[in-house]
A = this chain, B = another copy of it.
Amino acid sequence: MSDAATQPDSYPVTDRSRVKRLHERGRYDHAAVHAILDAAMVAHIAYVIDGQPFCTPTAFWREGTHLYWHGSAASRMLRAQKPGLPVCLTVTHLDSLVLARCGFNHSVDYRSAMCFGTAHIIEDLEAKARALDAMIDRFYPGRNAELRPSTAQEIKATMVVGMEIEEASAKIRSKGVGDEEEDYALPIYAARIPVTQVIGAPEPCPRLVDGVAFPEGLKGFTAGRRLDEVMVESHRTTFGVE
């Protein structure tokens, strides 16, 4: 355990969560980890069935230090998680390609967060319905109130999984080109090429009823905006700043 383990607003640092490679890039405070999580809609979840690892992409969201995701009740992953399965949920934002003057220093700038915990299924129907409403509003503020309400059958057919973050680490690289000192004099092109995930212009459903307007709650979803910034905004609008 390092000192970080005793910080009140940090996740404990353990052998499982400690950033070992380039450890100066590692952070364990809630603010750093949550900022990376809240900027994303999709995470990759690693879990094990009979010794075989699986890596599944899924939409997820955070409330406090708890993570949620969902899927069909028929999903293999979620079935396996029923008894309480160890899980590693990872979010990665690719921020730039880094072209250096030698192969070794080629890199990317990125922000990633790894969260460890034990997944549990939310069985209680009311808790499940509340979580599914929260999921919609987390991504699209205020939207749930405008939708046709979920049926009991729809709620039953959906499995919601929750996981308290037991340990987590954030890893960030943002320095662009970093070459060996003697290599800067070489006549070789080097650059940082930014990469962003952006939203395009919304394409209304062709069967939209006449006169239905673009909802006020979606005003952040405008063409050309960065998805990570919109996701953080939506999270704050719905859950407030924690």
Q: Hey, which bits of chain A sit against chain B, CB under 8 A?
A: 16, 20-22, 41-42, 44-48, 51-57, 59, 71-72, 74-76, 86-90, 92, 94, 96-97, 99, 101-104, 106, 108, 110, 112, 114, 116, 132-133, 135-136, 139-140, 143-144, 146-151, 154, 157-158, 176-177, 179, 183-205, 207-209, 211-215, 218, 221, 227
Do A194 and B189 touch across chains, with their CB atoms under 8 A apart? no
* Nearest B residue to A22, CB-CB: B72
Q: Are A86 and B52 in contact (CB under 8 A)?
A: yes
Stoichiometry, as copies per complex, reads 2
Q: Look across to chain B and name the residue whose beta carbon is closest to the beta carbon of A19.
A: B76
Complex CA gap A212/B195 in Å reads 23
Question: What distance in Å separates the Cβ of A51 from its nearest Cβ neighbour in chain B?
Answer: 7
What residues of B have a CB within 8 angstroms of the CB of A200 in the complex? 96, 193-196
CB distance from A23 to the nearest CB of B (A): 10
Contacts of A196 in B (CB 8 A): 197-198, 200
- A48-B53, A132-B103, A154-B104 known; A184+B207 contact, CB < 8 A: yes
B55 adjacent to A186 (CB under 8 Å): no
Could you tell me the distance between the alpha carbons of A112 and B106 in the complex, rounded to whole angstroms?
A: 26
Q: A143–B100 Cα gap in the complex (Å)?
A: 10
